[in-house]
Structure 1
Amino acid sequence: LQTNIYQKWNWDLILALLKDFSKLANQTQGDLYERFLDKLFDFFKPENKDGFSSIQLTDSLSNVTCRSLIAFSDLLVYPSRIQSNHIKYIASNIARTLLTSINDALKQSILAMTEDIGRAIITEHDLLSKNSVYYYLFLGRLSKTAFGVEALTESEIFVRLLEMLRMDDCFATSAIVALSSFNYYYDGSCRHFLVQALKTPCMALRLYCTSLLRVILRCNPVAFGTWGVDLLCSQLHDTNQTVVLETVSIIDEALEDKRLTNIFHKQWHALTALKTKSSYLNDIYHLISARLCSIPFNQLSAD
C-alpha cells in the first residue's frame, strides 16, 4: 500500500491478511497493522470519490475489493466501550468508524433527495452499476452477530433505512438490497425493519418483502416459526391482490412443514375476519380453509 493508486495494490495479499487477521494479530507490529487498516479505511469510506465506491461492477477489481470489504467487517468483534491498545480492539474500532461513515453517507443521500442539500453520496443509480451496492453486504455481514447488530443500532443505520422506507419508492433499490442482506433468524432490529417494509406505501417493495418471506422460510423453517407465520397472516390483509396471492402461495408452501402447520392452525381464529372484508378476501379465506382441511388430522397437534 505504498502507493495511493489502489489499482496497483496487491489485492489478493490484502484479502489474505484481512482473513487471517485473528492469527496475525499477535505476530504483527500493532502500529504497522494499524497503518495498514487506516489506509484501507480511507479507500473503503463512501466519501472517497476515487476509492471503493467508484469502482464499476464490471471492473476486474470489483469482486476482490468486495470480498476485502466483507473481510474488513469481520474485524468488528468487540463492543465500542472496551478500550485497549491491542491491535484487535483498534481494528474493531476502525471497522466501526467505517460503519459510521456509511451511515453519514446514507444520511447525506437522504438530505440531497428530500431537501436538495449537497450531493448524494450513495445514489440509487450507483447501486446498479458501482461497488457502492456492496456497502449493504457490509451491513448484512454485521447483522449475523450480536456485536454487529449492536454496532448497526448505535450508528443509527436502521434510523436511516426507516427514513428511506417513508419516502415511497425514492429509495426502493436501497431498501431491497438492505432487506436482501440482513439476517432475520433472531429477534431484533433487522426483523423490525422487515416488518416496517411490509407496511410501506410502495406496493412493489411490499411485494418484494412478501416474496422474501418465502426465501427465509426455505432457508430455515424452524427459525421461521411463529414470527414468520404472524407476518404471513398479516400480509393477507394487504390492500393489493398481487401481494395477497403471493402470501397465499407462501402459506401453501409453509403448510408442507408439520411444525408450521401447528403454528398456523393455532392462529386460525385470527383469519376469520377475512370473510367479512370483501368477496375477494372471502374467496381467499375459503381457499386457505380448503388447504388446511387437506392436511391429515394426525399431522395436527391435539390442542
Structure 2
Amino acid sequence: MLGLFKKVRDGLAKTHDKLIGEIKRIVARAPRLDAESLDELEAALIGSDIGVETTMRIIEEVRKASAETREVDVVSIARRIISEALASQPAALRTAQQAPTVIVLLGVNGTGKTTSTAKLAHLLKQDGRSVLLAACDTFRAAAIEQLKIWGERTGCDVITGQYNSDSAAIAFDALDAAISRKCDFLLIDTAGRLHTKKNLMDEMAKLQRVLRKRLPDAPHETLLVLDASTGMNGLNQAREFHQAIGVSGLIVTKLDGTAKGGIVVAINRELKIPVKFIGVGEQVDDLQPFDATAFGDALFS
C-alpha cells in the first residue's frame, strides 16, 4: 500500500508543488486570511483546475474557520473536502454477473487510450483474471500493431481486423471469442474521436448496440480516457462524450507530467462521473486504481 501511495504522490508532484507552494505563500504573508488573501487563495485553487464549485466550498470553510481562530489549516480543510467529494462516486470497476465483463475505452487522439487499454489488461492479469483485447481502432494501422505488441508484453490475445474495416464487427467477433474462451474480461480499444464529430459518435453508439445484440448488458463499463494536461478542456470533452454516448467512468492519464491534476476533482464534482483509474507514469504498472483518500493526501500532503 505504501508503494501504491508513493506512485500516486510522485505522479501528482507537479500539481502538489504548485498548489501547496501557493497556499503556503498566501498564508505566510497573511495568517489571518483577510479578504485579499482569500481572493488570492480562490485564484490559486481555480488555477489548479479543481473547479469553481469545489473552490468555493473550500473558501467558505476557510472563511468560517478564520472567524473562529487566528491560524487556519487551509491544507487540511482542502484535503478533507476534496477527499469527501471524490469518495462520493464508486471507483471500483463494474463487473458482469457472468463473465465476460466488457469494457470499452474511448477518447480523443493522444490521450494514451491504447496504452491505457494495455495497462488495464496488465492490472487485471496481476489480479489473476483472464483478459482478451480487441483492436477496434481500425483507422490507424499503427494502433492495431501497437495493441498487438502490448498483447505480447501482457500475455493477452488480441482480436484484430483489417485496416479500415468495421470496428463494430470486430467488437462482435471479439465478444464471441471472449464468451467461447470463457475470458473474465474483454477490453475494447476504439479509435480516437473528437467529441464534436457526430459521425464518429454515431459509430461508437453502433458499436455499443452491436455488443448488446450478443450480450444484452454489455458494455459493463464505458471508460473515457482523458489527458490531465488538457486541464479544463478535459471537462468539456467529458461532458460532450457523456451526453452523446454515456460514460460510466474515467481513466485520467499523464498526471505525472502536469500541474493540472485538479481536473480530476472538477470532472468528478460537476459531471458525477467516477474516476476509476489514474495514470501516474509510463511504466506498465503505472496505471493505478483510483483511491480518493490517497489522491487527496497526495495533493495536499
Question: TM-score, structure 1 length as denominator?
Answer: 0.23
Whose Rg is larger?
A: 1
- Considering Cα pairs closer than 8 Å and 6+ residues apart, tell me whether 1 or 2 has the greater RCO: 2
Question: TM-score, structure 2 length as denominator?
Answer: 0.23
Normalized per residue, which structure has more helix? 1
Normalized per residue, which structure has more strand? 2
